[in-house]
Chain A
Amino acid sequence: MQVGFIGLGLMGRPMALHLEKAGHTLHLWARRPASLAPFIDKAAAVNAKTHASPAEVAKHAEVVVVMVADAPDVEKVCLGENGLAAGGKAGLIVVDMSTINPNAARNIGLRLAQQGIDFVDAPVSGGEMGAINAALTIMVGGKASAFEKVRPLLEKMGKSVTLIGDSGAGQVAKACNQILTGVGVMAVAEAFNFAAKSGVDPAKVREALLGGFAYSKILENHGQRMLDRNFKPGFKAWMHQKDLRIIMEEAHRMGLMLPSAAATAQVFNAIVGSGMGENDSITALQLLEKMSTAE
């Protein structure tokens, strides 16, 4: 298949390479030409063609995957000057794997639909390691017919691929994922800090709790990394802050109370504000420790 790919960063690069390895031809454009280097290196012999704009990519591709930072970037790639909409024929499918506001995703989808272009939101969970190992969890929103066409591509990048519902539903699922992981990391950090300040070994507490109803993957994996004092990302705290900001903005728009997520978002604000944003999200534990120790 002729597959466009825009957004060749930490996540996007390995994802694109999985598609190429599966026998697809890549059509690429990048804001920074340097991102194209690993794909045009003669020695690597990657089956990829580069183009001057997203519109050109859209002209040559049946499906275009987008993996960029935020809603304004997705909007620019899709609907901006020389964007995908400017070059795409009716029947093109755009798969946006970025994490953006669900409402923004719906709006972009509606505007592309006016030109007969299908938009599928397919944000991922699993981080850089998940991208490299093709083990991502992919949550999809869009028309079932479009989903069936792109499913074989998504399965080359992810281990779990689920159609959640209509346009925007993938982003809603991702938002739910970020609420659970954000609040979950905070809960484990608070429990460990509570145990340590009470003079109890958090490692023993974790071990005991893993057998009970408080068991979770976060307690198991993130908890272990907290005990190892390994704050290397993983998933960077500033990205979690960005995601929580999107969620709180959407909750505001809907008039929906998210008291725990709101409190957690403030801790992530503090993490970013105190210069710890490049650490893994579990750095929340370090912030709690700082705030519970005499100067």
Chain B
Amino acid sequence: MNLGFIGVGAMGAPMAEHLLDAGHRLSVWSRRPESAAALVAQGASWCDSPAAVAGASEIVCTNVTGSADVEGLAGGLAAGFAPGGIHLDFSTIAPSAARRIAASYAARGVDFVDAPVSGGSAGARAATLAIMWGGKSALAPRLQPVFETLGKTVVHVGETGAGQVAKACNQMVMVAAIEAAAEAARLAAAAGIDFARVRTAMLGGSAGSRVLEVFGERMAAREFAAGVEARLHHKDYALLMDEAARIGAPLPVSAAVWQQLNALMAQGWGRQDTSALLRVLETGAGPAR
């Protein structure tokens, strides 16, 4: 298939590589050309603009940072797409932004698919991402070759924006679990008990979870170098709490977790792993024993 890829950062680069390896022709553009150099060396074609990428592709994948970035790219891509083209966006953005972008493409006969992912750069490298997508279900057969190359779990959640809602739910559940693990670590330490042992005991029982395994281990070892940079989770919380306010949904636990993330940011730990939520608790409770 003729594919395009824009946004070849820590997540995007390995994803684009997998698509090349699977035998697809790949057109790329990047704000900083040097970040696409490795892909071009592996056989991708460099294009001078997003419009040129869209002109050469049936499906253009994007993986960038914020709603505004995706909206900006969509403006450029729209000029190049032939009718029937698909903009497949893997970024985490506001559900309302996804719906806005889809509407802006509709008159041109171009489809927009929101397909945020979970699994981090490790999941991107191993092609084991969880992909949750929103858009017309009729598009599934055309998207399938891309999805199966990049991810392990692929779920069509619903109409446009539904993928982003699922991602918001994912972030909410995951970061709340990180906060819960941090509070357990704090309680254990304050009681003079080794959290590493508590964690091992818990992993075998009903409180066992992937978060306790991965983030709990970082907390036990006090290894707060990222991982997942906490500032990215912080960014996601602005999106999901704003969506909750827009639709009038109370999220009491998420609201509390959000404030802990604010405190983490204030203390300058945004580029550390989100397990640094433990350090926020320690700020309010004296040094760890």
Q: Report A's interface with B, CB cutoff 8 A.
A: 241, 244-245, 248-249, 251-252, 254-259, 262-263, 265-267, 269-274, 277
| Interchain nearest-CB distance for B234 vs A (Å) | 8
CA distance A106 to B241 in the complex (A): 24
Question: Are A254 and B259 in contact, CB atoms less than 8 angstroms apart?
Answer: no
Majority SS at the chain B contact face? helix
CA distance A272 to B255 in the complex (A): 17
Contacts of A271 in B (CB 8 A): 248
Question: Are B256 and A262 in contact, CB atoms less than 8 angstroms apart?
Answer: yes
With known contacts A245-B242, A252-B237, A252-B238, A269–B250 Cβ distance under 8 A: yes
**B38-46, B97-105, B122-130, B262-270: which one contacts chain A?**
B262-270
Interface residues on B, range: 20 to 34
Contacts of B262 in A (CB 8 A): 251-252, 254-258
Asked if B67 CB lies within 8 Å of chain A CBs, one says no
Q: Which of A263, A273, A274, A277 contacts B252 (CB 8 A)?
A: A263
Majority SS at the chain A contact face? helix
Asked if B245 CB lies within 8 Å of chain A CBs, one says yes
Q: B255-289 CB contact bits vs A (8 Å, 1 = yes)? A: 11011101111100010000000000000000000
CA distance A251 to B237 in the complex (A): 12
| Interchain nearest-CB distance for A259 vs B (Å) | 5
CA distance A263 to B242 in the complex (A): 14
Contacts of A241 in B (CB 8 A): 245, 248
With known contacts A259-B259, A265-B255, A277–B250 Cβ distance under 8 A: no
CA distance A251 to B244 in the complex (A): 16
Question: Are B248 and A257 in contact, CB atoms less than 8 angstroms apart?
Answer: no
Contacts of B247 in A (CB 8 A): 273
Nearest CB in chain A to that of B231: its residue = A255
Contacts of A249 in B (CB 8 A): 238, 242
Q: Which of A256, A263, A269, A277 contacts B244 (CB 8 A)?
A: A269
Can you name 20 A-B residue pairings with CB atoms under 8 Å?
A244-B245, A251-B259, A251-B262, A252-B237, A252-B241, A252-B258, A252-B262, A254-B262, A255-B266, A256-B262, A257-B259, A257-B262, A258-B259, A258-B262, A263-B252, A265-B245, A266-B255, A269-B251, A270-B248, A271-B248
Question: Are A257 and B255 in contact, CB atoms less than 8 angstroms apart?
Answer: no
